[in-house]
């Protein structure tokens, strides 16, 4: 799960990483109250799970209550790359001397952790990678060895941080590594990591992704109000126990089992289409699970066709078919559904579908033909390619 900035900073603070004092505000009045408690100047910051808030106008300095009011009014409700701002973080403003970048993440291909530090912070790091890859100093970290203060000192020096910032940045990176490992994060990123005019090194932004599989050993994660920042679709999927990941395409996908769901996503791209999501109904491919899955996909405005790919092993196909039929009664599904069902009780399932839901549902016998049909319906250029399965 991705944390928003203030949650990330609260996570950092537990590990002793310096952050600025601040307060959450859900309304303009709360923003003004928070600012007067913190003292001016403050920064009014949109809390959405997407970068580039500054450029989009979601980060504003305010010198007075009137300015806080003006900025909070403008930012609350603002749409930043598809994320509507519902919450603000009011933070005591920092006097910045320099902006840097620092992160730890997992380098899956190297099977090691990767630290990245750059003296070019505050800007989009992808852009730095493109324009000037040498501006980023990298260090692979073996999880068994961990990091030392010396290694971090060397890294920040290699990255070209200013002399004044070296000790503070190295110490902060040691803490950040602990936060990343003990905090079970997949990513901790600070952009910008700043050197203040007082010579202190501090995290001015926070991007933290927690490893959901470690939730069992972090009862405190329950407090992180993640639900409030999920989209309606993600919230619904989560509450129904569906494993749902939105993607950028137009073909909505429902499959049972992560493997089958991934193959379905692959097959859609293989025939020239794009998947709108990954959705694994898992062991919930029964009536209620199928209805919920269709409801979730139906909430996605970019979906132009739905591809349902179910293999009935433990779950019986007739139950799946009944689920689809009942979902059609329950919700007004806007897109056409292409259905590929196989496995236990498939004959009965086909009968149910042809009797009760024929015009909304197109049945196909193979994964490939189903993918082609769905891509065609989604309006992608002529589908081709693929291997018959
Ligand atoms: P992002 O645009 O979503 O990455 O949001 P950030 O939290 O990184 O803020 C964007 C930029 O706003 C930073 O790079 C800073 O230049 C500026 N900014 C944020 N907080 C402060 C602050 O306390 N003081 C000053 N002077 N600038 C700030
Ligand atoms: Mn940032």
> Could you tell me the pLDDT band of residue 380, with boundaries at 50, 70 and 90?
low
Cα angle 174, 179, 184; round to 5: 135
Question: Token pair of 223, please?
Answer: 């407090």
**Judging by DSSP bridges, how do beta strands 79-80 and 305-312 pair with one another?**
unpaired
Q: What pLDDT shows up at residue 235? A: 80
Q: What is the mean pLDDT of the chain?
A: 92
Question: Token pair of 336, please?
Answer: 């056409």
Q: What pLDDT shows up at residue 230? A: 63
Q: Please tell me the pTM assigned to this model.
A: 0.71
Q: What pLDDT shows up at residue 314? A: 83
192 CA → ligand 2 middle, Å? 6
Residue ranges of domains in the chain, CATH in brackets: 21-92 (3.30.1490.20), 96-217 (3.30.470.20), 232-377 (3.40.50.261)
Beta carbon of 93 within 6 Å of any ligand 1 atom: yes
Q: What pLDDT shows up at residue 385? A: 66
pLDDT at 97 over 70: yes
189 annotated active-site:
yes
What proportion of the chain, given as a percentage, has pLDDT over 90?
Answer: 74
348 annotated active-site:
no
120 CA → ligand 2 middle, Å? 12
Q: What pLDDT shows up at residue 381? A: 61
Q: Which of 43-47, 198-202, 230-234 has the lowest mean pLDDT?
A: 230-234
Quick one: which atom of ligand 1 is closest to the CA of 122? 14
Question: Token pair of 231, please?
Answer: 């989209």
Q: How far apart are CA 235 and CA 84, in angstroms?
A: 15
Q: What pLDDT shows up at residue 140? A: 98
279 CA → ligand 1 middle, Å? 36
Q: What's the start-to-end Cα distance of the chain, in Å? A: 34
Q: What pLDDT shows up at residue 225? A: 57
Cα angle 263, 266, 272; round to 5: 145
- Per residue in 210-244, pLDDT tens? 998 898 999 888 777 554 556 778 888 888 889 99
> Could you tell me the pLDDT band of residue 284, with boundaries at 50, 70 and 90?
confident
Q: How far apart are CA 283 and CA 257, in angstroms?
A: 8
Question: Token pair of 138, please?
Answer: 């990298």
> Could you tell me the pLDDT band of residue 382, with boundaries at 50, 70 and 90?
low
The DSSP secondary-structure symbol of 302 reads T
**Judging by DSSP bridges, how do beta strands 336-343 and 277-280 pair with one another?**
unpaired
Quick one: which atom of ligand 1 is closest to the CA of 99? 14
């Amino acid at each position: 799960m991705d944390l928003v900035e203030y949650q990330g900073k609260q996570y950092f603070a537990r590990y002793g990483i310096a952050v600025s004092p601040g307060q959450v505000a859900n309304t303009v009045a709360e923003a003004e109250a928070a600012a007067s408690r913190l003292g001016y100047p403050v920064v009014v910051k949109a809390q959405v799970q997407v970068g580039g808030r500054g450029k989009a106008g979601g980060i504003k300095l305010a010198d007075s209550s009137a300015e806080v009011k003006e900025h909070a009014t403008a930012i609350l409700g603002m749409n930043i790359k598809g994320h509507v701002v519902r919450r603000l973080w009011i933070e005591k403003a920092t006097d910045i001397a320099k902006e840097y970048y620092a992160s730890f993440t997992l380098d899956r291909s190297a099977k090691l952790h990767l630290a990245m530090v750059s003296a070019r912070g505050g800007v989009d790091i992808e852009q730095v990678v493109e324009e000037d890859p040498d501006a980023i100093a990298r260090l692979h970290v073996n999880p068994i060895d961990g990091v030392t203060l010396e290694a971090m000192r060397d890294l920040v020096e290699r990255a070209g941080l200013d002399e004044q910032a070296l000790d503070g940045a190295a110490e902060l990176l040691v803490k950040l590594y602990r936060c990343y490992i003990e905090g079970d994060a997949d990513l901790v990123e600070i952009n910008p990591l700043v050197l203040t005019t007082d010579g202190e090194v501090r995290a001015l932004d926070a991007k933290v992704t927690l490893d959901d599989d470690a939730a069992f050993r972090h009862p405190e994660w329950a407090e992180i109000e993640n639900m409030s920042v999920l989209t309606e679709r993600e919230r619904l999927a989560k509450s129904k126990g569906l494993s749902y990941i939105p993607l950028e395409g137009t073909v909505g996908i429902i499959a049972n089992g992560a493997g089958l769901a991934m193959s379905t996503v692959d097959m859609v791209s293989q025939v020239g289409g794009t998947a709108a999501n990954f959705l694994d109904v898992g062991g919930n491919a029964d009536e209620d699970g199928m209805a919920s899955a269709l409801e979730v996909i139906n909430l996605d405005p970019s979906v132009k066709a739905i591809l349902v790919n179910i293999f009935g092993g433990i779950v019986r196909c007739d139950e799946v078919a009944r689920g689809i039929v009942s979902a059609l009664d329950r919700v007004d599904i806007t897109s056409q559904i292409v259905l590929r069902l196989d496995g236990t009780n498939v004959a009965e399932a086909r009968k149910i579908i042809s009797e009760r839901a024929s015009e909304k549902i197109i049945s196909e016998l193979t994964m490939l033909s189903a993918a082609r049909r769905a891509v065609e319906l989604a309006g992608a250029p002529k589908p081709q390619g693929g291997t018959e399965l």
